[in-house]
Amino acid sequence: MSLSQAIAELRTANDLSQQELADRLFVSRDLISKWERGERTPVFRTVEKIAETFGVPVDRLCDRRALLIRELEDCIPGDGVFEGDDLTAILDRFLRKVSPRTANIFLNRYYLLKTTSEIAEKYGIGENHVRSILSKTRKRLKKALEEGKV
């Protein structure tokens, strides 16, 4: 089942209008409609909120790995092809240059596929702090890749 179908089915099964779901997620009704038609895809954090709203695991809605890979796609410059090194080796070198905590948070998110709330709980920090660390780390990765410094 696609993410768009899952959102629509859960919404109707819970007897919510698109507007009611939009209000709970702090988005527009039009955006809910686009998600359900498959015209747009919510970011992973929003998928987590949708899952929380309906009390289901994220994996019931979508392939978590695919959505997390999309989060990282913006970090990969150009065509995403790396000559000589594979992406795993590049990421390993990059993560050795950041603090151990930052590297662990990054790996928890993109390798272990943990939610921001799971990571926050594990490290005793707020979810916003986790999202901030991940965002800054992705930006550093992108810059390092663009400059060929990894």
Res 111: pLDDT: 86
Structurally, how many domains does the chain consist of? 2
Q: Which two tokens stand for residue 36?
A: 């359900």
CB contact at 8 A, 21 and 53 = yes
pLDDT for 87 beyond 90: no
Model-wide pTM > 0.75: no
Whether residues 124 and 87 fall in one domain: yes
> Confidence class of residue 65 from pLDDT cuts 50, 70 and 90?
confident
CB contact at 8 A, 98 and 140 = yes
Whether residues 115 and 89 fall in one domain: yes
Whether residues 27 and 95 fall in one domain: no
From CA 100, how far away is CA 66, in angstroms rounded? 26
Average model confidence (pLDDT) across the chain: 88
Whether residues 34 and 104 fall in one domain: no
Whether residues 50 and 94 fall in one domain: no
3-class secondary structure, 16: coil
> Confidence class of residue 71 from pLDDT cuts 50, 70 and 90?
confident
Whether residues 137 and 85 fall in one domain: yes
**Residue 44 belongs to a domain with what CATH number?**
1.10.260.40
Q: What does the radius of gyration of the chain's CA atoms come to, in whole angstroms?
A: 17
From CA 67, how far away is CA 110, in angstroms rounded? 10
> Confidence class of residue 83 from pLDDT cuts 50, 70 and 90?
low
